[in-house]
Structure 1
Amino acid sequence: MKIVVLGAGQLARMMSLAGAPLDLNVVAYDVRSARMVHPLTQEVFPWDLAQAIEKADVITAEFEHIPDPVLEACSPSGKFCPGTTAIKTGGDRRLEKTLLDKLAIPCAPYQLITAQEHLNQGINQLGLPLVIKTCQAGYDGKGQWRLTADSDRDQLWSQMQAFLASGSVDTPRTIIAEKMIPFQREVSVIGARDRSGKVAIYPVTENHHTNGVLTLSIAKKEAKKEAVDIQAQAEAAFFKLTSAMDYVGVLAIEFFDVQGKLMVNEIAPRVHNSGHWTQQGTLCSQFENHLRAVAGLPLGTTRMLGPSAMVNVLGETFIPTGVLMTPGVTSHWYGKACRPGRKMGHINIVAENEKALGEKLIAIAQYLPEESYPGVARHGQYLVEGV
């Protein structure tokens, strides 16, 4: 079976690796160069998008910011999963909030902004501080501001105007101001839904960010009442969202945990960075389950093999080989040109219990400079201490 992935980055690469044992042949459409490439070798295929759509059995996506002409070309084929509505919703916070409101899924109070009076209205109704985000084109902390003092209002507005002015009649730009939520932690849930509506959901993952970019994800194998309740809330949101969109594939939902109550921060209609631990931490990774779902194959198990963690490699030219001296540690490299802050690879760790996972994080931290890999040793110590 031939599967075309819109996007030719590391997620398409990992889908290709997961698909090969299932005889699923993944090719990628690079939306920037408009070329069809092999996601591992980067070999260029002599097809344009129309030819690729014709050859494909299934079309899917590795990211949500796909140009409208590409979506419009793929949609009539009936081969595109999870579908145009899901991709556009995940790529536009305005549409995302509208859907969350419609389904009565808790999220941060907000104000849409297309003019300065809307910013003023948001300040008056929501109060300060505010988190202000671009509705389109934002990711990994980009396209975001913090407004903590009213004296910064005018200066911030001048920056926001540039983004709004970059839009057009066909592609308007919008900004959203959200009330800053005093959350205890950030978590995510990832699950797959097949064409018949069956689902397979992974355990909730705790995520740690630095400057808006994910640096560490930890998936605990907990049976505590609090963890069971958090999992139930996350799964309820997953069921509502995927049912409403008739979703097929993997969906990720990011939440704020506010004293045991979950509020949606963002949704991602694709495989997700916080789910990379599933490559070694489960028998069937998020990448394999996504391909199984869109290809019409039975979904695989999401049962954990043990507590797991994922460490992002950001802006580094290599993964230190010393980390592989610790049992249960695996490195993944994306083969990309290095830039500061760019996701270059990741490290997966799996252990028999949470204490052992913490010990392994502490062990690999000796090879990972704190400035480049913030919090690895600290969160390892928390796990050892049972915090």
Structure 2
Amino acid sequence: MKVLVFGAGQLVQMMYLAAAPLGVDVKAVDVNSRDILHPVSKQKLEMTLDYALSDADVITAEFEHVPEDLLALAGETGKFHPNAKSILTGADRVREKACLDIANIPNAPYKIIKHIDALDDAVQALGQRIIFKASRDGYDGYGQWRMMIPEDVDDIRIAFASLDLQTVPIVAEKMIDFEREISIIGARTSDGKVSCFDIAENLHYQGQLHVSVAPASNISDSLKQKAHYIFETLANSLEYIGVLAVEMFQVGDELLVNEIAPRVHNSGHWTQNGAETCQFEQHIRACLNFPLGSPQTNKITAMINIIGCTSFSRDLISIPGCHLHWYGKEVREKRKMGHINVTANSYFELSEKLSKLLTFLPEEYFPKLAGEIRRLKAL
């Protein structure tokens, strides 16, 4: 079986590694050059895009920002999963908000800004604390502006004046006083079967995910039921096939959806070492209509992103249950270079292992880790 993936980053690399034991061959498409690449070595393969599309049993994507002409080509084959609608929804916050509203899924109050004159109306409607997000091409904190006090609106007005708001509108969202950020990741098959992993708790810094812990602590049965309902409702409404991620804010016993990602997701990397079946294998299984694997959690797991940093000791793998996943990229500020999964039998044991891990890491690149160690120790 052959799978062709739009995108040539770390996610397709991990799909390749998970698919190989199933006898599934994965190739990557550089969506800029349109070259076909080996997902790990990044070596260019002597194969045209047209041939790769026809040769594949399934076509999928590792990220949302796939050029629309490629989505159209993939759609014409009848082999593209999840589907173009899902990818376009994940790539455009305006579409995403419409999808949530149509499905009656709670999310933060918002306004769409397509002209600078709409800024004042958005501020009046949403209050003094607003996050403004570019509707497209924003990720890891890029394409975002925050209004924390009324005076911030002047700088935001200047920033927006240079933008083409008709082409890329801004979604203005009321800032939510949430207790924590969580995510649910699961898979849906072509016949509508759904299987979800345990909920993860996520810690962000400057708009970028730094640490995930799964299963999230102190999740009530009511919250679990709501998260699963949200996942199934969205997956069914999108006629989704593959792995889908839904990021949410917890506000008391309520959940508000922050974002959806129509793909394998950073907050699901913990499944590589903490679950019976990892999210990458599960995506391949769902897309190829194989039986889904068990999502059962085997260990409590922390996933720590390595961001913009290569100066750490590989001796960290001496810690029992510590696993390094390296992407092989050139270092760049705010670039995800790899991640570390640490597994344990309890939250306290996890805190002890993370304390040891921190001795191998430059703490300035891991600003959330010390606080998370203290929190886990107190559980």
Q: TM-score range by the shorter chain?
A: over 0.9
> Compared with structure 1, are the counterparts of its residues 27 and 318 closer, same or farther at alpha carbon in structure 2 (3 Å cutoff)?
farther
Is 1:372 the counterpart of 2:362? The answer is: no
Partner of 2:131: 131
The alpha-carbon deviation at position 337 of structure 1 amounts to 0.9
RMSD: 1.3
Q: CA separation in 2, counterparts of 1:319 and 1:280? A: 21
The alpha-carbon deviation at position 3 of structure 1 amounts to 0.3
Is 1:188 the counterpart of 2:179? The answer is: no
Match of 1:350 among 343, 352, 356: 343
Is 1:206 the counterpart of 2:201? The answer is: yes
Question: After the TM superposition, which residues 300-379 of structure 1 pair with which residues of structure 2 at under 5 Å, given as runs?
Answer: 300-317=293-310, 319-379=312-372
Partner of 1:109: 109
The alpha-carbon deviation at position 149 of structure 1 amounts to 2.8
Is 1:385 the counterpart of 2:375? The answer is: no
- 1:34-67 deviation per Cα after TM superposition (whole angstroms, max 9, x unaligned): 1100001112112222221111110000000111
Contact map agreement 2:187 2:194 (CA 8 A) in 1: yes
Partner of 1:279: 272
Q: TM-score, normalised by structure 1?
A: 0.95
The alpha-carbon deviation at position 323 of structure 1 amounts to 1.4
Is 1:50 the counterpart of 2:45? The answer is: no
Return the letter of the residue paired with 2:307. L
> Compared with structure 1, are the counterparts of its residues 347 and 319 closer, same or farther at alpha carbon in structure 2 (3 Å cutoff)?
farther
Contact map agreement 1:220 1:354 (CA 8 A) in 2: no
Contact map agreement 2:201 2:216 (CA 8 A) in 1: no
Count of equivalent residues: 379
Partner of 1:6: 6
Unaligned 5+ segments in structure 2 are none
Q: TM-score, normalised by structure 2?
A: 0.97
Return the letter of the residue paired with 1:347. I
Match of 1:266 among 252, 259, 265: 259
Is 1:254 the counterpart of 2:247? The answer is: yes
Return the letter of the residue paired with 1:65. H
Instruction: Give SS of 2:157's match.
Output: helix
Partner of 1:80: 80
Partner of 2:211: 216
Q: CA separation in 2, counterparts of 1:270 and 1:319? A: 30
Unaligned 5+ segments in structure 1 are none
The alpha-carbon deviation at position 162 of structure 1 amounts to 2.8
Contact map agreement 1:221 1:304 (CA 8 A) in 2: no
Q: CA separation in 1, counterparts of 2:181 and 2:351? A: 19
Contact map agreement 1:110 1:178 (CA 8 A) in 2: yes
Is 1:197 the counterpart of 2:209? The answer is: no
Partner of 2:22: 22
Deviating more after overlay: 149-158 vs 377-386: 149-158
Match of 1:237 among 227, 230, 235: 230
Partner of 1:228: 221
The alpha-carbon deviation at position 319 of structure 1 amounts to 4.8
Return the letter of the residue paired with 2:331. C
Return the letter of the residue paired with 2:265. H
Instruction: Give SS of 1:107's match.
Output: coil
The alpha-carbon deviation at position 381 of structure 1 amounts to 2.3
Deviating more after overlay: 374-383 vs 104-113: 374-383
The alpha-carbon deviation at position 232 of structure 1 amounts to 1.4
Identity of aligned residues (%): 43
Q: CA separation in 2, counterparts of 1:54 and 1:242? A: 27
> Compared with structure 1, are the counterparts of its residues 30 and 291 closer, same or farther at alpha carbon in structure 2 (3 Å cutoff)?
same
Contact map agreement 1:30 1:37 (CA 8 A) in 2: yes
The alpha-carbon deviation at position 2 of structure 1 amounts to 0.7
Q: CA separation in 1, counterparts of 2:348 and 2:233? A: 35
Instruction: Give SS of 1:355's match.
Output: helix
